[in-house]
Chains A and B, each alone.
Chain A
């Protein structure tokens, strides 16, 4: 969630001078606990793409045209040249996360709109990257999924529940994951990650 911080300074001739600054849900949090690096994963945009009924073929072509990569299968992901992530989390549902590519809103989104139903969910999700040798031990305490690489390979993405909160988990490398949780409960989720990291 982006929170705009408004500060009013006295300007010239009593006209207010406004400064708007973007504040991320976890305010750029970063900490190492038991050799696990926990850091907020910051992104500029996160949109959901829903496939309209009976248009999967059209959507596949559009996805390839817009992002330069084939539309992933269910629970798989793609990363395009500019670092944009695409997750397929359901038969008819995808998420696209743009870390910082400047032309995403002006070019990629209008292109995707030609085939998909699009909802901007940038404010709804918060990302946390967990990384380290003991990350699996930490996740095993809160995540009900089988984290073995045979079942949950690098590049896979799954939606599940951790400490009663809805979480999308993406495996970047063997011991590095990005966890997306609703931004409204991001503080609670961060606390459960911290506690789990301390308790391994």
Chain B
């Protein structure tokens, strides 16, 4: 599988580590009223869809960047690759 890195071009998936659901970028506010429920959701609950999924990938054997990869988990087609720093909070 090739991941088309936004800065470096297509790179082999063996250079990357899969780091889970991209929702981890949006950490809940601990001061909010129902923060306990939100943190339970943030820490443990995943939708795990069969289809389009936003994922975090870390380019460990490369430039050490964090990417948000939109991937179809059924076909493994990669639809979009962005730097995590550019997507945070969106």
CB distance from A185 to the nearest CB of B (A): 13
- Given that A74-B8, A91-B7, A144-B15 are contacting pairs, would A160 and B61 also be in contact in the complex, using a CB cutoff of 8 Å? yes
Q: Is A89's CB under 8 angstroms from B63's CB?
A: yes
Closest to A167 in B: B61
CB distance from B88 to the nearest CB of A (A): 14
Task: Give the number of residues in B that approach A within 8 Å (Cβ atoms).
Answer: 13
Q: Is B64's CB under 8 angstroms from A90's CB?
A: yes
Question: What class of interface size applies to chain A in its complex with B?
Answer: 10 to 19
Within 8 A of B (CB), among A133-170: 144-146, 151, 158-161, 166
Q: Does B9 have its Cβ within 8 Å of any Cβ on chain A? A: yes
* Contact flags B1-23 to A (C-beta < 8 A → 1, else 0): 00000011111101100000000
Q: Does A75 have its Cβ within 8 Å of any Cβ on chain B? A: yes
A90 to B10, CA, bound (A): 16
- Given that A144-B15, A160-B15 are contacting pairs, would A75 and B61 also be in contact in the complex, using a CB cutoff of 8 Å? no
Residues of A whose CB lies within 8 Å of any CB of B are 74-75, 89-91, 93, 144-146, 151, 158-161, 166
